[in-house]
Amino acid sequence: MSRPPATPGGTLVLDSEGLAKAVLRDRTVTTWLTLARTDDLRVITSAATLVEVVHPRINRPALDWALSRVVVEPITEAVARHAVALLTDAGLHGHKYAIDAMLSATALAAPGPVTVLTSDPEDLVALCGSRVTVMKI
């Protein structure tokens, strides 16, 4: 198995697409998860992401399996306030970017270095800047 272009270190963060692909056992995401486990890294997501990923056709047992391998970080008042600050700094509106902002605040609070697997790299870069490595999946 070859390593992806950027190797995670510290914490690996999954956005809703990363979590959805973990549920589907997507090869790329599975590789990242295997590397994270091998390197004894934390794999996290935001509680807001959990809400975003659920839909009527999701395979609930597969979701439960994927979640058993991920730490779901809560949305505390501190995380919410940090998300507000990130939105403000980026000039973005919470109505459209709330979940990305909460995931970003969660990622920025995690032990680094932090790698975020996302389908929206532009949004995460706008919110996190260069403080995390953002990988498109």
Which pLDDT score is estimated for 2? 52
Inform me whether the pLDDT recorded for 133 exceeds 80: yes
Measured distance CA(45)–CA(114) in Å, rounded: 12
Inform me whether the pLDDT recorded for 6 exceeds 80: no
Domain ranges of the chain: 11-136
Which pLDDT score is estimated for 40? 87
Can you give the pTM of this predicted structure?
A: 0.91
Inform me whether the pLDDT recorded for 68 exceeds 80: yes
Peptide linkage before 113 cis (omega within 30 of 0): yes
- What's the rounded mean pLDDT across residues 34-48? 95
pLDDT single digits (tens) 76-122: 999 999 999 999 999 999 999 999 999 999 999 999 999 999 998 99
pLDDT single digits (tens) 17-27: 999 999 999 99
Quote the strand ranges of the chain, DSSP E: 11-14, 42-46, 71-73, 114-118, 133-136
High-pLDDT (> 90) share of the chain, %: 91
Measured distance CA(30)–CA(74) in Å, rounded: 24
Q: Looking up tokens 């999946």, which residue turns up?
A: 137
The Cβ-side half-sphere exposure at 105, using a 13 Å CA radius, reads 26
Q: Does domain 11-136 have CATH number 1.10.357.10?
A: no
- What's the rounded mean pLDDT across residues 34-51? 95
